[in-house]
Each structure stands twice: as structure tokens, then as C-alpha cells.
Amino acid sequence: MDKVKDFKARETLITGAGSGIGRATALAFAQAGARLWVVDIRLEAARDTAALIQAQGGVARALQCDVADVDAVQAMAAQVHDEIKALDILMNNAGIGSGGRFLDTTIEAWRKVMDINLMGVVHGCHAFLPAMVARGKGGHVINIASAAAFVAAPEMPIYAASKFAVQGFTESLRGDMAAHGIGVSAICPGIINTGIVASSLMQGALGEQGRQGRVEAFYKKRNYTPEQVAAAILRAVRRNVAVQPVSPEAWGMYYAKRLAPRLVDKLAGVQLPFLK
Ligand SMILES: NC(=O)c1ccc[n+]([C@@H]2O[C@H](COP(=O)([O-])OP(=O)(O)OC[C@H]3O[C@@H](n4cnc5c(N)ncnc54)[C@H](O)[C@@H]3O)[C@@H](O)[C@H]2O)c1
């Protein structure tokens, strides 16, 4: 299979690039010479990322799009394909966090998170892969899953379900796209210091006053940066890695699930300190 090793002039689109991992990865790809399409549901945030790239002498265009809205994603793809034949790199990154024990979750919350975290990834692939395949010059798809795709904590049934699904879809797509020379990678970051907790949909005890702040404080204290994740993503694309755990805890969960599944099962009932 072809590998995308050199990012010079590669047309690269990243969803959720207005913040966190998406923004850091957009900047890293731009520094490596890629031409960026910076997408976010918040246009101002996408514009800020594009401005940061342009200030460094890079090429970036900001686009507004809600990845949960299939028509909006198709319209965005049409706009991109008016200017270029196909993307070289597609990164489906937009996502939201969610927490709360199953009995406290609403069906509305399930639909909302699955529409963004899972269907957003599917919409992106559906809109951009046909042109990549038709062009016949390979490329790469990066789907942002999570360490929650290895171990599903009781506090995050919706999030874990969405990320297990992204992981499964990515594995299937990887085998499918191999024949077209298109690499496909799932990235499983770990606990990363971004805005994700602040914008998470929390229900039940986790939604109570003060709890979200404690989780945020824990993520800040852990302080694994989105820039570290971005560097791992570029490496994973160069090597066409299937599944890329990033932070030490992500690697720990990856191996624990494989080597000690009974221990993981036992620990499932233990509450994390910041959730008490
Ligand atoms: N931060 C972590 O610890 C962590 C860990 C594992 C996986 N992830 C995953 O990484 C990805 C990026 O998260 P982050 O941590 O950088 O969070 P973030 O909140 O900093 O960034 C997410 C971005 O996505 C955008 N977005 C949200 N909904 C959208 C939609 N419907 N359409 C388009 N854009 C939308 C937001 O406006 C925001 O700019 C997510 O898929 C998340 O699940 C994060």
C-alpha cells in the first residue's frame, strides 16, 4: 500500500479544527507544507485557526460545517471539489464528550453524540472518499477515536459506544481502501488538555454543580498537549498505522484490554478519583 510520507502541497481537510487536537494538527500539517481546509461548526474558531496558519506562511481556508448534518457535509465537499479534484488527507476529528451513567442518559443525548461522533465520521468519508478513489492517487483518512474505544468506563456509555463504533468502522474501511492505495488510521489519544470537557454533555451525577469543573481540572493537571497528539498523528500517517494509541494511559488501556481483560473487567466498578 502507498504511504503518504511527504505532506508538501497535500490537500488536507480537518473537521473540528477550530480548537484542541484539530487545531494543533492543522498547524502541524501546515508546518509540514500541507494546504489546509479548516472546518468547524464555529466559523470564527475555524477562521482563527486559518489565520494562525497564514501567519506562519501556510495555506489555509476556513469553512463552517456541522458534521452531523449530512446535507451540510455534502455541500462543503461540493465547494471543495469545485476547487480541487480530491483531498489527499481527510481527518475526521470533530467530536464532543459525554458523561453520565446509563440510567441517567436520555435518548436525545444518545442521538446527539452518535450523530456527531459516529455519523460525522461516516459523513466525511461518504462525501470525500469517492473523489479520492476516482482520482486514483491514494491518500489517507484519519479518524479520531479514543482510548474509550479500548476500555469503556461506566461513566461514559454514549461516548464509549460512539468511539467503539468509530474504531470498528475505521478497521473495516482500512481493509476496503487498501485496494485503492488509501491508508486509514484510527487515533486513540488518551486524556488530552483541550476544551472537550467544558463542552461535554454531562448527565446524572456528573452533571451536578462543580463536577464538570473537577474533571476539567484533572485534564489540565494531566496536561498532555494537543500538540503531542498532532505529532503522533503525522507519524501515524507516514507509517500508515492502523491504530495509534497516543498518551501513556492510552497505551496502558490498549495493552491492558489485550493482555489482562479480566483485570480490566474487575476495575470497571472502581470509581475514578475525580468522579467521586
Ligand atoms: N481531549 C481528549 O482527551 C480526547 C481524548 C480522546 C479523543 N478525543 C477526540 O478528539 C476529537 C477532538 O476533540 P478535542 O479534545 O480537540 O476537543 P475540542 O472541544 O477542543 O475540539 C472539538 C472541536 O470540534 C468542533 N465541533 C463540535 N461539534 C461539531 C460539529 N457537529 N461539527 C463540526 N465541528 C464540531 C468544536 O467546535 C471544537 O472546535 C474529538 O473527536 C474527541 O472525541 C479527545
The structural domains of the chain, ordered by start, are 11-269 (3.40.50.720)
Q: Give the integer Cα–Cα distance in Å for 181 and 179.
A: 6
Nearest CA to ligand 1 atom 8: 146
Is residue 191 in contact with ligand 1, taking CB distance under 6 Å? yes
Closest Cα to atom 7, ligand 1: which residue? 146
Number of the ligand 1 atom closest to the C-alpha atom of 194: 20
Distance (Å, rounded) from C-alpha 119 to C-alpha 102? 21
State in Å: Cα 16 to ligand 1 middle.
6
Distance 262 CA to ligand 1 centre (A): 31
Q: Catalytic site residue 254?
A: no
Contact (Cβ atoms closer than 8 angstroms) between residue 12 and residue 35: yes
Average pLDDT on 159-169 reads 98
The CA 45 to ligand 1 mean position distance, Å, reads 12
Cβ(115) to ligand 1 under 6 A? no
Evaluated on CA atoms 193, 195, 201, 207, the torsion sign reads positive
142 lines ligand 1 (CB under 6 A): no
Alpha carbon distances (Å) from 270 to 99, 127, 154, 258: 16, 42, 9, 19
Q: What is the dihedral of CA 229, 251, 195, 202, to 10 degrees?
A: 160
Confidence of residue 210 (pLDDT cuts 50, 70, 90): confident
For residues 236-263, average pLDDT: 96
**pLDDT confidence bin for 1, thresholds 50/70/90:** very low
Q: How many CA atoms lie within 13 A of 189 on its CB side?
A: 26
pTM above 0.95, yes or no: yes
Kindly list the distances between the CA atom of residue 44 and the CA atoms of 47, 52, 67, 225, in Å, as whole numbers in the listed order.
5, 12, 16, 22
Of the CA atoms within 13 Å of residue 271, those in its CB half-sphere come to: 9
Q: How far apart are the C-alpha atoms of 147 and 97, rounded to whole Å?
A: 13
For residues 245 and 8, is the Cβ–Cβ distance under 8 A? no
Stretch among 2-11, 99-108, 246-255 having the lowest mean pLDDT: 2-11
Does position 272 have pLDDT exceeding 90, yes or no?
no
Would the pLDDT of 138 be above 70? yes
Q: What is the mean pLDDT of residues 99-124?
A: 98
Of the listed ranges 104-108, 124-128, 187-191, 264-268, the least confidently predicted one is: 264-268
The residue that leads in pLDDT, 71 or 211, is 71
121 lines ligand 1 (CB under 6 A): no
Residue 251 has pLDDT above 70, yes or no: yes
Nearest CA to ligand 1 atom 17: 196
User: What letter represents residue 24's amino acid?
Assistant: A
Give helix 70-83 / helix 119-135 axis angle, nearest 10°: 30
How far is the centre of ligand 1, averaged over its atoms, from the C-alpha of 144 (Å)?
A: 9
**Residue 108 pLDDT exceeds 50:** yes
Which residues, in sequence order, are bridge partners of residue 38?
Answer: 14, 62
Q: Is the pLDDT of residue 224 over 90?
A: yes
Q: 28 CA distance to ligand 1 centroid (A)?
A: 17
- Report whether pLDDT(11) > 80: yes
Average pLDDT over residues 179-205: 96
